[in-house]
């Protein structure tokens, strides 16, 4: 994705977009972890 | 979740020490920290892994036995270990089972067979221990290869690109687990599906089937991403485990993109020997897929699941030669998602009867 | 740029790395500049003047680089002499070149019996700790004896010099001789190629432009520093382009993994190799195919010998890299005609197109031939050597009206690509070393039992050419190979020792009584054709069946094709091939056989074992 952005936008804008995207994911992750009960450990884990 | 946090917690000193220490102590620090982690999480697994690591190394490299006997002992012990563990403990009672055993047993089988083929170039107990005691891939794979591991160690240097790639990989991995798997599919998706009126039983069963397969994929792929990301922080590039499997247009392609480290292992060490011994590729495929199934759990459900995967692959070989048009490709993709999801129903339920019931709904057999 | 400008520019980046050498030793441009300054005082102390000549010969790579560069700056001529050279050859060189000072390893002083007073011994063993000790010690009691030895040993002699202004000329005449390299020739007639500052620096500029070097190039060049491709495309090119020269271990074909690891580890951008090394790359690449897929790596450059088209294709495909070829002679500094990296000059199998020089292809009558016809290749340009030192006769033979007669037979195709098709001179190119057969013959004839001797080069998969000595003994005498090789090892550099020796009753001769070399060559090759042909037949069978099953052209498959390099060789077709081969050869493979049969070579090995 970063490569695509660099190719189509000026460097600075590409960097800002990517930073925002990461931030967005981070917030969403935090939100998910708060709002969802921790799932029973995943089947593959430990196997 | 808790396990993931603990892996992160242990990874921090691992990463810092791996760049702060003089090179000759780095592998040792990795071994010790990983060892401490397993000892803390699962003492029995620590004992088994230690026994295997030293035992296999000394058996292969230091004992005076005949080569065929060495290989025989090594393989029999490894296979007995994994089979008995799988038979003794069920997949549902987690913390009793030896942590990461399915993965490290396969790594050691790989090492033994490569030794047999004369392909082990850098034999050293330090490398071997470091390969076995490598935290990022210990619990959930990938089943990385020894020579790749040693190669990455030999050419390792500080590379800021690895850090940014690793950070991105971890973020994406956590997102797959948390956002897609836990939140969207499990919390939202499952609620949405259970809200569907019971009069639409078929739709409900179908969506549940798809949801559980996608959830499994995103969770597993997410954990693999995290493992690969942490490895990148340490300066190692670990092989990918998934390569957009649901974009595959037939089941053979799907299995070359889904849990790749396991399927590649099985291709090299199960398919090739069996198919060449009996000169029957079909037999090779069936045996391979059944073993992949049983690798998860030794049970009748997984046996059937494996056989269904084999049938899928064999079917795909009939369609392989024909044209590669846009429509065919996408029809193929729809088929792959449905075939894999439907075949996986059999392993989603503890009782075979439950699965059978779902199949009845799905195929209008009620 | 000349040496003064290059060093001046280097002052702006003293922290940048100039070289990375054995055991992680690193040298910055700042270190280099300070060494150059201090060395000027040493040169001055030895009473050397601009235009004087020094012999430089050491196994320490860094000393070679820094003394050479310092000598250029001071205006001295460096006689680059391989420390492997034997005393007798060295004496003939010394006699011809009349050097004014020596910078050589201690062992060589003894081995070559150098009695000259102007001799600095290069001693670098366990430097680190000792110098620290020495420093403390010398401050406490500067013993006279200690100073005496350190005055004549390098780099110890530098440590006493601090904050003294360097003593070198403000300007340098471009026609001043930079170095001399004794390439070939017999003891009685040594040929020292004379390269001026103008030749050298004009050519470095060409190299930098052709390769498209920018700041931050990391050159991996492990080649011998006493050959032009080692020194000029290693430390000199790094210095000229402001890049870093990497030579962190000894070139060892048993440890190719070190090279593979180094590409990523040191962020190598350009790798210099000889074709012999490439053929080892081709043989040993399993699990290393991705070694060059790093964000930094640009291309490999094949130097020093003819690069076979098949090998060229094969290595490029295995590693997915571009291999640029450079054609030149010691007499042209290093290059003249370049194949790549630009697509307009890149055509595998040719040597590409000339850069910064003119070429001409002439026939026996001295007339220029038309396109597509063969003739001797002539080169002209600012980088062509001044001549052979004190040897006008030899110079006049190859340097006429500014044209250098290369001795190579070439043709130029319609698009202007030059292709080498043969050689006029008897020179043998073995493993990247140019060897003059006459030189070997001269030594061999010193053996009493040998009546006549002819040394020829025969094509070889790995070495390009292998050196073959043909001997006619005196009547009724016996000579053992062991005794002969012992004598040769004592009197010849390792790369000049024949790979094979054949005893003949007589040489094939023409009417004039001259030995017919071509006839001799075919005679020897025939003698060897037997067993090779048999295994080649098996190879052909395997390849034709593989091509049939994998649905690829036969020519796409070679002995070195493997499951990893050949598309179409998947696990299903593998089995089909195995089954087919069992029928064809009427043998049975075991499972363990099949598991290791992942390349044509491995298959052949198993088949040959079974057939026995």
- Is A47 within the bounds of a domain? no
Residue C32 neighbours by CB under 8 Å, 6+ apart: C10, C18, C19, C66, C69, C239
Nearest to A42 among B97, B168, B219 (CB): B219
pLDDT in tens, B3-60: 888 899 999 999 999 999 998 899 999 999 999 999 998 888 899 999 999 999 999 9
Asked whether the beta carbons of B312 and B263 are under 8 A apart, the reply is: no
Considering chain B, what percentage of its residues have pLDDT values greater than 90?
Answer: 54
Contact between B94 and A41 using a beta-carbon 8 Å cutoff = yes
**Residue A37: predicted pLDDT:** 65
Q: Do B263 and B207 belong together in one domain?
A: no
Domain final residue pick, B234, B256, B279 = B234
Chain A closest-CA separation from residue B97 CA (Å): 8
- Is B240 within the bounds of a domain? no
Contact between B277 and C591 using a beta-carbon 8 Å cutoff = yes
pLDDT in tens, A10-44: 888 888 988 999 999 999 988 888 877 655 444 44
Domain final residue pick, B184, B215, B234 = B234
Under the banding of pLDDT at 50, 70 and 90, the label for residue C379 is very high
**B interface toward C at CB cutoff 8 Å?**
113, 116-119, 121, 147-148, 151, 154-157, 161, 267, 271-273, 275-277, 279, 281
| Tokens 């980046």, residue located | C13
Mean pLDDT, residues C543-548: 85
Contact between A39 and B181 using a beta-carbon 8 Å cutoff = yes
**Residue B280: predicted pLDDT:** 85
Under the banding of pLDDT at 50, 70 and 90, the label for residue C58 is very high
**Residue C128: predicted pLDDT:** 45
CA distances to B63, B246, B319 from B333, in Å: 51, 7, 13
Q: Do B16 and B133 belong together in one domain?
A: yes
pLDDT in tens, C327-355: 999 999 999 999 989 999 999 999 999 99
Task: Region of B88 please: left (phi>0), alpha (psi -120 to 50) or beta.
Answer: alpha
Question: Which of C78, C371, C357 shows the shortest CA–CA distance to C205?
Answer: C357
Domain final residue pick, B234, B267, B294 = B234
Chain A closest-CA separation from residue B28 CA (Å): 24
Does the beta carbon of C245 lie under 8 angstroms from any beta carbon of chain B? no
Could you give the angle at which helices C571-585 and C600-611 cross, rounded to 10 degrees? 30
Contact between A38 and B2 using a beta-carbon 8 Å cutoff = yes
Q: Do B193 and B142 belong together in one domain?
A: no
Nearest to C596 among B117, B161, B277 (CB): B117
**Residue C177: predicted pLDDT:** 95
Nearest to B276 among C257, C288, C591 (CB): C591
Contact between B220 and A44 using a beta-carbon 8 Å cutoff = yes
Which of residues 275 through 314 in chain C touch B, CB cutoff 8 A? 286-288, 295
Asked whether the beta carbons of C275 and C297 are under 8 A apart, the reply is: no
Mean pLDDT, residues C225-232: 94
Q: Which is more confidently placed, C218 or C534?
A: C218
- Is A39 within the bounds of a domain? no
Domains of chain C with CATH codes: 29-172 (3.40.50.980), 212-321 (3.40.50.980), 325-423 (2.30.38.10), 428-507 (3.30.300.30), 536-611 (1.10.1200.10)
**Residue C448: predicted pLDDT:** 85
**Residue C130: predicted pLDDT:** 44
Contact between B276 and C595 using a beta-carbon 8 Å cutoff = yes
Does the beta carbon of A4 lie under 8 angstroms from any beta carbon of chain B? no
Contact between A25 and B179 using a beta-carbon 8 Å cutoff = yes
Contacts of A21 in chain B (CB under 8 A): none
Contact between C596 and B118 using a beta-carbon 8 Å cutoff = yes
Nearest to B276 among C261, C264, C575 (CB): C575
Find the domain containing A22 and state its range: 2-33
Find the domain containing B272 and state its range: 245-362
Q: Which is more confidently placed, B146 or C494?
A: B146
Q: Do B9 and B144 belong together in one domain?
A: yes
Q: Do B16 and B149 belong together in one domain?
A: yes
User: Which range among B175-189, B201-215, C554-568 shows the weakest confidence by mean pLDDT?
Assistant: C554-568
ipTM score of the complex? Answer: 0.84
Q: Do B81 and B137 belong together in one domain?
A: yes
Can chain B be said to touch chain C, i.e. do they have 3 or more Cβ pairs within 8 angstroms?
A: yes
- Is B357 within the bounds of a domain? yes
Domain count, chain B: 3
Q: Do B225 and B261 belong together in one domain?
A: no
Q: Is the dihedral of CA C130, C131, C132, C134 positive or negative?
A: positive
**Residue C572: predicted pLDDT:** 67
Contacts of C265 in chain B (CB under 8 A): 154-157
Q: Which residues of B28-59 are buried (b: 16+ CB within 10 A; e: fewer)?
A: ebbbebbbebbeebbeebbebbbebbeebbeb
**Residue C211: predicted pLDDT:** 95
Mean pLDDT, residues C452-465: 84
Contacts of A34 in chain B (CB under 8 A): none
Q: Do B297 and B347 belong together in one domain?
A: yes
Tokens of C92: 């003939």
Domain count, chain A: 1
CB-based burial label for C555 (10 Å; 0-12, 13-18, 19+): exposed
Asked whether the beta carbons of B177 and B246 are under 8 A apart, the reply is: no
Asked whether the beta carbons of B125 and B87 are under 8 A apart, the reply is: no
């Amino acid at each position: 994705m970063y490569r695509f952005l660099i190719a189509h936008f000026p460097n600075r804008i590409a960097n800002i977009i990517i930073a925002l995207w990461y931030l967005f994911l981070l917030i969403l992750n935090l939100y998910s972890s708060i709002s969802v009960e921790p799932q029973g450990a995943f089947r593959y884990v430990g196997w | 979740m808790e396990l993931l946090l603990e892996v992160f917690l242990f990874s921090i000193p691992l990463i810092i020490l791996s760049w702060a220490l003089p090179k000759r102590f780095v592998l040792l620090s990795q071994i010790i920290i990983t060892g401490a982690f397993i000892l803390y999480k699962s003492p029995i697994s620590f004992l088994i892994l230690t026994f295997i690591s030293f035992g296999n190394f000394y058996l292969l490299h230091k004992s005076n036995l005949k080569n065929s006997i060495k290989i025989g002992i090594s393989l029999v012990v490894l296979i007995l270990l994994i089979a008995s563990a799988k038979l003794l403990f069920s997949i549902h009672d987690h913390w009793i089972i030896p942590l990461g055993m399915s993965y490290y047993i396969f790594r050691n089988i790989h090492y033994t067979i490569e030794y047999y083929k004369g392909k082990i170039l850098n034999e050293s107990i330090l490398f071997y221990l470091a390969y076995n005691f490598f935290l990022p891939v210990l619990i959930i794979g990938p089943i990385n290869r020894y020579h790749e591991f040693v190669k990455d160690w030999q050419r390792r240097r500080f590379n800021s690109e690895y850090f940014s790639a690793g950070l991105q990989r971890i973020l994406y991995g956590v997102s797959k687990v948390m956002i897609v798997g836990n939140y969207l599919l499990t919390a939202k998706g499952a609620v949405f599906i259970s809200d569907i009126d019971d009069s639409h039983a078929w739709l409900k069963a179908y969506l549940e089937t798809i949801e559980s397969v996608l959830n499994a994929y995103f969770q597993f792929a997410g954990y693999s991403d995290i493992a690969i990301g942490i490895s990148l922080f340490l300066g190692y590039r670990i092989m990918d485990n998934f390569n957009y499997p649901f974009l595959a247009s037939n089941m053979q392609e799907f299995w070359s993109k889904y849990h790749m480290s396991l399927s590649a292992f099985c291709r090299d060490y199960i398919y090739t020997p069996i198919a060449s011994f009996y000169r029957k590729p079909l037999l090779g495929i069936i045996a391979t897929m059944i073993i992949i199934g049983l690798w998860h759990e030794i049970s009748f459900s997984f046996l059937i699941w494996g056989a269904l995967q084999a049938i899928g692959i064999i079917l795909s070989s009939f369609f392989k030669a024909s044209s590669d048009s846009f429509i065919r490709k996408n029809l193929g993709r729809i088929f792959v998602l449905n075939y894999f999801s439907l075949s996986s129903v059999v392993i989603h339920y503890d009782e075979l009867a439950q699965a059978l019931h779902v199949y009845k709904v799905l195929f209008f057999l009620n | 740029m000349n040496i003064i400008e290059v060093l001046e520019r280097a002052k702006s980046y003293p922290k940048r790395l100039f070289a990375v050498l054995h055991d992680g030793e690193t040298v910055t441009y700042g270190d280099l500049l300070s060494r150059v300054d201090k060395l000027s005082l040493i040169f001055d102390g030895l009473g050397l003047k601009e235009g004087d000549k020094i012999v430089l010969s050491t196994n320490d790579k860094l000393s070679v680089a820094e003394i050479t560069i310092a000598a250029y700056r001071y205006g001295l001529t460096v006689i680059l002499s391989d420390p492997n050279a034997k005393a007798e050859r060295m004496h003939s060189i010394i006699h011809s070149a009349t050097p004014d000072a020596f910078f050589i390893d201690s062992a060589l002083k003894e081995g070559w019996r150098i009695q000259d007073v102007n001799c600095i011994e290069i001693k670098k063993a366990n430097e680190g700790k000792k110098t620290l000790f020495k420093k403390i010690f010398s401050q406490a009691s500067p013993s006279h004896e200690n100073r005496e030895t350190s005055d004549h040993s390098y780099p110890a002699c530098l440590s006493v010099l601090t904050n003294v202004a360097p003593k070198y000329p403000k300007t340098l005449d471009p026609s001043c001789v930079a170095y001399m390299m004794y390439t070939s020739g017999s003891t009685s007639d040594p040929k020292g190629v004379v390269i001026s500052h103008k030749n050298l620096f004009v050519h470095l500029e060409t190299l930098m432009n052709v390769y498209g070097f920018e700041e931050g190039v990391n050159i991996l060049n492990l080649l011998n520093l006493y050959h032009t491709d080692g020194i000029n495309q290693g430390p000199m090119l790094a210095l000229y382009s402001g890049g870093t020269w990497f030579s962190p271990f000894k070139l060892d074909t048993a440890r190719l993994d070190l090279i593979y690891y180094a590409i990523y580890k040191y962020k190598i951008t350009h790798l210099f190799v000889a074709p012999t090394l490439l053929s080892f790359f081709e043989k040993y690449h399993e699990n290393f195919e991705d070694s060059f897929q790093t964000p930094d790596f640009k291309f490999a450059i094949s130097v020093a010998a003819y690069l076979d088209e098949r090998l060229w294709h094969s290595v490029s495909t295995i590693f997915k890299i571009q291999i640029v070829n450079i054609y030149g002679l010691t007499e042209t500094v290093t290059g003249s005609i370049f194949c790549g990296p630009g697509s307009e000059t890149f055509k595998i199998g040719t040597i590409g197109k000339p850069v910064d020089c003119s070429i001409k292809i002439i026939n026996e009558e001295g007339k220029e031939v038309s396109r597509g016809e063969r003739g001797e290749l002539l080169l002209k340009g600012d980088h062509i050597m001044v001549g052979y030192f004190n040897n006008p006769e030899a110079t006049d033979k190859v340097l006429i009206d500014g044209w250098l007669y290369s001795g190579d037979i070439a043709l130029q195709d319609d698009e202007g690509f030059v292709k080498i098709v043969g050689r006029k001179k008897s020179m043998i190119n073995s493993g990247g070393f140019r060897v003059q057969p006459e030189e070997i013959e001269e030594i061999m004839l010193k053996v009493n039992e040998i009546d006549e001797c002819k040394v020829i080069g025969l094509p070889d998969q790995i070495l390009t050419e292998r050196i073959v000595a043909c001997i006619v003994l005196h009547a009724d005498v016996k000579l053992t190979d062991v005794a002969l090789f012992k004598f040769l090892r004592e009197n010849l550099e390792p790369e000049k020792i024949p790979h094979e020796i054949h005893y003949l009753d007589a040489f094939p001769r023409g009417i004039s009584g001259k030995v017919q070399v071509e006839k001799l060559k075919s005679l020897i090759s025939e003698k060897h054709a037997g067993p090779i042909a048999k295994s080649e037949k098996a190879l052909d069978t395997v390849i034709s069946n593989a091509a049939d099953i994998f649905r690829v052209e036969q020519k796409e498959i070679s002995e070195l094709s493997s499951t990893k390099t050949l598309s179409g060789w998947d696990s299903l077709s593998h089995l089909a091939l195995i089954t087919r081969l069992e029928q064809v050869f009427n043998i049975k493979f075991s499972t363990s056989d099949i598991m290791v049969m992942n390349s044509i070579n491995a298959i052949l090995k198993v088949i040959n074992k079974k057939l026995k």
